[in-house]
Amino acid sequence: MTRTLDDIDLTDRVLHSTEDLSEFWRDLRHTKPVHWHQPADGGTGFWVLTAYEHISAVYRDTKHFTSERGNVMDALRAGGDSAAKRMLSLTDGRRHTDVRSILMKTFSKRGVEQVGERIRGITRGLVEQALERGTCDFAMDVAAPIPLMAICDLLGVPEEDRWRIFDLTSSMVASETPEHTQKDAWRNKNEVLFYFANMAEGRRVEPRDDIVSLLTGAQISGSGLTEDEIIFNCYSLILGGGETTRMSIGGAVVALVQHPDQWRALKNGDVSVDSAVEEVLRWTTPSMHMARTAVADVEIGGSSIRAGDIVTLWNVSANRDEKAFELPDAFNLARSPNKHVTLGGGSHFCLGAHLARLEINSVLTSLRDLVSEIEPVGEPRRIYSNFLGGVCHVPVALR
């Protein structure tokens, strides 16, 4: 069934995982690329941008748009994010540049190479184990541990706490069941913040070589980061670093199973792993949307956006825009150029981009080198969310 503008509610967390919206997005791109959406719940309405051109322009337009009230639909519609101005992604201007340059030490291309050997080793080990067992849930057995181990290594979270943190964070932005209680989400977020608040207290007294110590020891024009900034940034790194990459890795395997010619191209070395990583990022688009608030009146594509309006940027649509990509609905690992918006753009461009690429690269490399055949042994299961999109269970047999 093709959905139309009138009967769709983009805030519905179940909609995105149970329906294929590609027709709907194409329709919007062609007929109303800048569309005012009034959700069924009667709450705050917002703009829905679906064209690549407009979306990449808004990412770069810091004059008319701010991230300081929130950067996802739900938080903005609820009146603003409680972490506003205290988390890198929710800070603009000078402070954003200063905090970003502190973290850049760890997340630059050279910085992440420090954990490169370890991540590649872990990935190889996980794929070997899956091969030995014959069948596995690729999403849980391989896709989940890699980003978790990587970001926990960097943050300094000890091995014994990692899976508890995973359980808490994985149910925070998305869930594996359609029912999702507000209390559970609040409780889990609270536990994670509490964990890092305690950890930061410890690192103040006894610094180590990790990001938490980097943040507690950092100075910006003579003064340290506030307690809030430290805790919220740790929280954002564990969420941003774990959940999104897990979706891309799981989704990569689903796509390779569905496109045997592309799997062969990867296997035979007809395409480079680097180029395959970019297509996996475009194809899976884990951050389905990002959002901004207009701070001044501005016109986009003939529509007048007013100061104060919420503007949502649908990456899932931009990445399939026929004006930006040749045959956008083809999964083509050799695609070039491939300027997808999966990692955002402009000043808030994903801080973890090099790490995410390294992680996905390690998986594709291990699959290419160790696996000869991937066969589905069950239906993949998608998560329920209106922000994060992807698969949480991918049953396959590896040979």
Partner 1 sequence: MTQTLDIERELCGHAAVGEAAVTVDGDRVVAFVVPAGGGLSLRELRAELGTEPDEFVVLTALPLAEDGQPDWAELSRSRKDLTRRRMPYTAPRTDTERYLAALWEDLIGVEDIGADDDFFTLGGHSLLAVRIRMRLQRDHGVTVAPEALFENSVLSEQAAVVDRTREA
Please report, as ranges, the residues that interact with partner 1 according to CB under 8 A: 82-85, 183, 186-187, 189-191, 193-194, 197-198, 201, 226-229, 231-232
Query: Given the complex with partner 1, which of 163 and 186 has the nearer CB atom?
Result: 186
Length reported for the chain: 399
By CB under 6 A, tell whether 248 contacts ligand HEM.
yes
Q: Looking at residue 183, what DSSP letter applies?
A: H
Of positions 230, 231, 276, 290, contacts ligand HEM by CB under 6 A:
290
Query: Given the complex with partner 1, which of 68 and 279 has the nearer CB atom?
Result: 68
Q: Which of ligand HEM, partner 1, none binds 141 (CB below 5-8 Å, type-dependent)?
A: none
Report the nearest approach of partner 1 to the CB of residue 351 (Å): 21
Report the nearest approach of ligand HEM to the CB of residue 348 (Å): 4
Report the nearest approach of ligand HEM to the CB of residue 1 (Å): 29
The C-alpha atoms of residue 117 and residue 138 are separated, in whole angstroms, by: 21
Output the 3-class SS for 44-100: CCEEEECCHHHHHHHHHCCCCEECCCCCCHHHHHCCCCCCCCCCHHHCCHHHHHHHH
Q: Which residues contact 301 (CB under 8 A, 6 or more apart)?
A: 33, 34, 51, 54
By CB under 6 A, tell whether 70 contacts ligand HEM.
no
Of positions 286, 328, 389, 390, contacts ligand HEM by CB under 6 A:
286
The C-alpha atoms of residue 399 and residue 385 are separated, in whole angstroms, by: 33
Query: Given the complex with ligand HEM, which of 60 and 264 has the nearer CB atom?
Result: 60
Q: Give yes or no for a contact between 384 and 176, defined as CB atoms under 8 angstroms apart.
A: yes
Query: Given the complex with ligand HEM, which of 220 and 397 has the nearer CB atom?
Result: 220
Q: Which of partner 1, ligand HEM, none binds 344 (CB below 5-8 Å, type-dependent)?
A: ligand HEM
List 225's β-bridge partners, or say none: none
By CB under 6 A, tell whether 352 contacts ligand HEM.
yes
Report the nearest approach of partner 1 to the CB of residue 88 (Å): 15
By CB under 6 A, tell whether 89 contacts ligand HEM.
yes
Query: Given the complex with partner 1, which of 128 and 191 has the nearer CB atom?
Result: 191
Report the nearest approach of ligand HEM to the CB of residue 141 (Å): 19
Of residues 53, 45, 55, 84, the one with CA closest to residue 68:
84
Residue 109 CB neighbour total at 10 angstroms: 12
Q: Where are the alpha helices (DSSP H) in the chain?
A: 15-18, 22-31, 52-60, 73-77, 93-107, 109-113, 116-133, 138, 145-155, 162-170, 182-205, 211-217, 227-258, 260-267, 273-284, 315-318, 353-370
DSSP letter for each residue of 215-241: HHH-EETTEEPPHHHHHHHHHHHHHHH
Report the nearest approach of ligand HEM to the CB of residue 243 (Å): 8
Of positions 71, 262, 361, 362, contacts ligand HEM by CB under 6 A:
71
Q: Which of partner 1, ligand HEM, none binds 82 (CB below 5-8 Å, type-dependent)?
A: partner 1
Q: Where do contacts with ligand HEM occur on this chain (CB under 6 A)?
A: 67, 71, 88-89, 100, 151, 236-237, 240-241, 244-245, 248, 286-287, 290, 342-344, 348, 350-352, 355-356
